Amino acid sequence: MNLSKKVTREKVQVLLSTYNGSMYLEPLINSILDQDYPNIEIIIRDDGSIDNTLNILRRYTSYENISVIKGSNVGLPHSFFVLLQMSSPNADYFSFCDQDDVWQKDKLSRAINLLKKLPNSIPAMYCGRVLVVDKHLNVIGHSPILKRKPSFKNALVENIATGCTIVINRAARNIIVKKIPKHALMHDWWIYLVVSAFGVVVYDPEPKILYRQHSSNAVGIRNRFFDHWKARTLRFLKYRRGRLLVKQAEEFNDIYGNELSTGNKRLLERFINIENRRGLISRIQYAFCGELYRQSIVDNVLLKSLILLGYI
């Protein structure tokens, strides 16, 4: 007699932070519910919306696998960290979600199949490209493909992980929630920093997210050369004015410095002390030593130029 065996799939918790997102919220949630991965819980934290967002969310509270929390406004990065703290330490994977995208049906199954190839004791993160669409879901283009591998050397000066693509395993979740940062530039950048320092980052060149490009995106994706150069330059200068890159690195060192490998510890300390490199010779040596890099040629040239000029 043939007995069919029930296959138990690892549990995935989808973490969604909403804020005045009523325009596109329903297509997103429906695309999550339509995933071909069977064991999904959705935790939604509203970050103080004043539009129709909460009314829309209440329509989904009848679903057994959806929880909705009404929160106060703490801002995008911290709201996701709060969600991660609220997530279950017994879940196997944790997926981050933006309020205005649409997921392809196999978004989660593809991410988890790739992460499952790694030992579950190692902090691991999946991220990937996105298919850029307009507000009507008409295709505009793709996000750029990575030129170099993800690494801690890259994570110190660039975030390659678009938040809505990120899926992490339990080991990554547990190390991130040890202490929530105050100076993280974005939640996705901080996650990339942590996992690249202690584990494995899996980058998927095949897009599984329809990423709406519109004026309310927290971080947009630009394709034209001039826009790319201008946007990156202005962002770098903003980071410089507030020492934001260094502050993020300093807090990372405060939280994780004693746990880093010798190589990553030295790399981090040299970056934190970058402002002490006043002489031109020392800046030239640091700019071209190969310790830090960004993905595109434009960004890499810009990074080295700003180091040479003393702006980083």
Same domain, 26 and 71: yes
Same domain, 144 and 244: no
Is 149 among the domain residues?
yes
Among candidates 112, 107, 114, which has minimal Cα distance to 129?
Answer: 107
CA separation for the pair 225, 213 (Å, rounded): 17
Helix (H, G, I), strand (E, B) or coil at 88: coil
Is 68 among the domain residues?
yes
| Neighbouring C-alpha atoms within 13 Å toward the C-beta of 120 | 10
Same domain, 41 and 167: yes
Same domain, 154 and 291: no
The residue length of the chain stands at: 312
Same domain, 167 and 236: no
Structural domain ending residue among the three candidates 187, 212, 237: 212
Is 258 among the domain residues?
yes
CA separation for the pair 169, 197 (Å, rounded): 15
Helix (H, G, I), strand (E, B) or coil at 138: coil
Same domain, 231 and 88: no
| Neighbouring C-alpha atoms within 13 Å toward the C-beta of 87 | 35
What CATH number does residue 182 fall under? 3.90.550.10
Is 189 among the domain residues?
yes
Q: What's residue 273's pLDDT?
A: 87
Helix (H, G, I), strand (E, B) or coil at 310: coil
Q: What angle do CA 177, 182, 185 make, to 5 degrees?
A: 100
Number of domains within the chain: 2
CA separation for the pair 231, 228 (Å, rounded): 5
For residue 276, the tally of other CB atoms under 10 A from its CB is 9
Average per-residue pLDDT in the chain? Answer: 89
Task: Using 50 as the pLDDT threshold, list the residues of the chain that sit under it.
Answer: 1-6, 222-226, 241-242
Read off the amino acid at residue 95. S
CA separation for the pair 181, 252 (Å, rounded): 8
Which DSSP string do the residues of 6-62 spell out, in sequence order? PPPPPPEEEEEEESS-TTTHHHHHHHHHT-S-S-EEEEEEEES--SSHHHHHHTTTT
Is 151 among the domain residues?
yes
Is 71 among the domain residues?
yes
Q: What's residue 274's pLDDT?
A: 78
Read off the pLDDT of residues 71-91 as tens digits, 9 standing for 90 and up: 999 999 999 999 999 999 999
Among candidates 152, 304, 143, 109, which has minimal Cα distance to 221?
Answer: 143
Is 233 among the domain residues?
yes
Same domain, 102 and 239: no
Among candidates 152, 151, 150, 148, which has minimal Cα distance to 267?
Answer: 152
Distances in whole angstroms, Cα of residue 281 to Cα of each of 44, 56, 66, 269? 51, 59, 57, 19
Instruction: Mention every residue, 6+ apart, whose C-beta is less than 8 A from residue 228.
Output: 222, 296, 298
Read off the pLDDT of residues 231-270 as tens digits, 9 standing for 90 and up: 655 665 555 544 788 899 999 999 999 999 999 999 999 9
CA quadruple 248, 249, 250, 254: dihedral sign = positive
| DSSP secondary structure code for residue 292 in this structure | -
Sheet holding 131-133, edge to edge: 102-103, 209-212, 131-133, 139-142
Same domain, 168 and 24: yes
Range of 106's domain?
12-212
